[in-house]
A and B are shown apart, each in its own frame.
Chain A
Amino acid sequence: AQSVTQPDIHITVSEGASLELRCNYSYGATPYLFWYVQSPGQGLQLLLKYFSGDTLVQGIKGFEAEFKRSQSSFNLRKPSVHWSDAAEYFCAVGALGNAGNMLTFGGGTRLMVKP
């Protein structure tokens, strides 16, 4: 069975600083990987996804993620954080099931941004 680990429960960065959120997955086949963001009181919004091809994936809001098969990682990055990026971020791995892509989520990383 697949699993996802987000080692950092909370991260605080200063506005304008760079950001990297870590995600490690365990899956026996080719992984399909996702990052979602959840702003306070909101549902989940898709930031980016990796299915195949270029291992550096660009997403919305200036985010990018890099798939590294050798490290079983899919870390999320942003070069300069804005206060509006404060939210909870979830990494997920997808496996094919009866309803298409069945997602397994990590525990989430809560990002706080200092002014």
Chain B
Amino acid sequence: DVKVTQSSRYLVKRTGEKVFLECVQDMDHENMFWYRQDPGLGLRLIYFSYDVKMKEKGDIPEGYSVSREKKERFSLILESASTNQTSMYLCASSSPVPKGSGARETQYFGPGTRLLVL
């Protein structure tokens, strides 16, 4: 079974603090993703990475950065937390499928980190 773990289930931080959210996957997946989930908006992609040290912006990267120093670990960083970053953060991973197989990757999700910024 694919296992994606996130370092904290709940976090409470103060405005202006630097916040690190950690995600680890144990399936040697190349691709990793960070989403935030807000009521009525579904999941929105913040950043993703398709290889170690590679990262790309998603739909809502403002106020966030990421780090991928090792294949299994993908960190989301809030440089200076603000109250509008209070949300549920979900990490996911996937692995490329063989070309020509007709299949497409499936993303596997972690349990989420609920962040409250006061």
Q: Which residues of A contact B (CB under 8 A)?
A: 4, 6, 9, 32, 34, 36, 41-46, 49, 51-52, 90, 92, 94, 96, 98-103, 105-108
Contact B31 A90, beta carbon cutoff 8 Å: no
Of A4, A41, A43, A90, the most chain B CB neighbours within 10 A belong to A43
User: What residues of chain A lie closer than 8 Å to B4, measured between beta carbons?
Assistant: 43
The 7 closest A-B pairs by CB, nearest first: A105-B42, A100-B105, A99-B31, A44-B109, A43-B109, A99-B50, A43-B111
Query: 29 pairs across A/B with beta carbons < 8 Å?
Result: A4-B42, A9-B40, A32-B104, A41-B111, A43-B4, A43-B109, A43-B112, A44-B90, A44-B109, A46-B108, A49-B106, A51-B102, A90-B42, A98-B50, A99-B30, A99-B48, A100-B31, A100-B94, A100-B95, A100-B96, A100-B97, A100-B104, A100-B105, A101-B94, A101-B107, A102-B45, A103-B43, A105-B43, A108-B42
What would 10 more interface pairs be, CB under 8 Å, given A41-B9, A100-B95, A101-B106? A43-B111, A44-B43, A51-B104, A90-B42, A98-B56, A99-B33, A99-B50, A102-B48, A106-B42, A107-B40
CB of B110 within 8 Å of the partner chain: yes
How many residues of B are in contact with the other chain, CB < 8 A?
A: 33
With both beta carbons as reference points, the residue of chain B lying nearest to A46 in the complex is identified as: B106
B44 to chain A, nearest CB (A): 8
| Residues of A contacting B: mostly | strand
User: What residues of chain B lie closer than 8 Å to A107, measured between beta carbons?
Assistant: 40-42
Q: Which residues of B contact A (CB under 8 A)?
A: 4, 9, 30-33, 40-45, 48-50, 56, 90, 92, 94-97, 102-112
Contact B56 A99, beta carbon cutoff 8 Å: yes
